[in-house]
Amino acid sequence: MKVKRNINKVEVSLWILITLVQVTISEAKTNGACSTPCDCKERLEKIIKYYDIRIASAQQNFEDNLKQLLKLQIATLSGDRSLAKAAVPVIGAAGAILDQCKAKLDDAQKKFDTAARIAAKVGKTYSIMHHFVKATSQLKLTADSTGYFKETSFTQKSLGKVQPSKCEAPSGGEKAAALTAETEATEPELPAFTVKTKMSVKCSTNSGGSTCHSATVAANGWTQLDLAHATGDVPDTTGAWRSNTHTTSADFGN
């Protein structure tokens, strides 16, 4: 009777294992696509964590079933011969299933390790993009009291400087997004961001900011170039300079 009980226990465990490896989707929920480098970095971390937990859970199920199979083998050797004979096919089938599971687990772990390494690099890329999007550098030349620009006119010269900037808290939409068995199949692809350079040229005839479009630069007048970056469209006002600000875009070379 002990052998029979162990056989039933193994059969139930194997049934649970087979059930767990099947993906069941019912009324799948859908996450919206992430929209900023920081939100996408957050989403990427959620994806990696989700699959890491799934593989670890499958590995634990495999180990539990392997222990049950070993218990059955021990019980068979020490139990009734007639029941032992009946248990042999079950043990053989269970061993074959576990061998298949082990091969799939090893393959899944190998693919996950590769994906995790790639994800780490992509995450760093998102961080770098965020640094650029948050940074604005500047070059400003201020005329002297006679309206001339001289070697001492460089009053701001941080052009091209990019300071590291940490991601803020995820957006409301990203906080609500969760990767689950229900959302896995409909998880949108991570968007491909294009970082564009945004150059804004400003000029003033005086210290107050009056446009120099049709006026001569006078005492303390200035010319300023602001360099920023954006993941969205950058307006180009090249042919419409009728104020003290002129903006144009440029390729960043992602």
Mean pLDDT for the stretch of residues 115-139: 95
Under DSSP, is residue 98 helix (H, G, I), strand (E, B) or coil? helix
Angular region, 138: left φ>0, alpha ψ -120 to 50, beta rest: beta
* 18 & 41 share domain: yes
Mean pLDDT for the stretch of residues 85-103: 86
Mean pLDDT for the stretch of residues 144-148: 91
* 47 & 83 share domain: yes
**For residue 4, what pLDDT band results from cuts at 50, 70 and 90?**
very low
From 133, 158, 193, the end of a domain falls on 133
User: Quick one: tokens of 108?
Assistant: 């899944």
Residues, the chain: 254
- How many structural domains compose the chain? 2
* 125 & 165 share domain: no
Q: Which domain holds residue 165?
A: 137-251
- Pairwise pLDDT comparison (105 vs 22), residue with the higher score: 105
Query: Which of 17-31, 53-67, 211-225, 231-245: highest mean pLDDT?
Result: 53-67
Please give the mean pLDDT across all residues of the chain.
83
Which pTM does this prediction carry?
A: 0.73
* 105 & 211 share domain: no
63-72, 98-107, 206-215 — which is least confidently predicted? 206-215
* 12 & 110 share domain: yes
The pLDDT value recorded for residue 100 is 93
Mean pLDDT for the stretch of residues 149-176: 92
Distance CA 1, CA 44 (A): 52
The answer on pLDDT for 151 being more than 70 is: yes
* 102 & 147 share domain: no
From 114, 133, 152, the end of a domain falls on 133
The pLDDT value recorded for residue 17 is 45
* 129 & 10 share domain: yes
The answer on pLDDT for 110 being more than 80 is: yes
Nearest to 65 by CA among 89, 98, 40: 98
From 96, 117, 133, the end of a domain falls on 133
- Pairwise pLDDT comparison (11 vs 239), residue with the higher score: 239
The H or E element containing residue 194 is: none
Distance CA 65, CA 94 (A): 9
The answer on pLDDT for 57 being more than 70 is: yes
Mean pLDDT for the stretch of residues 1-22: 42
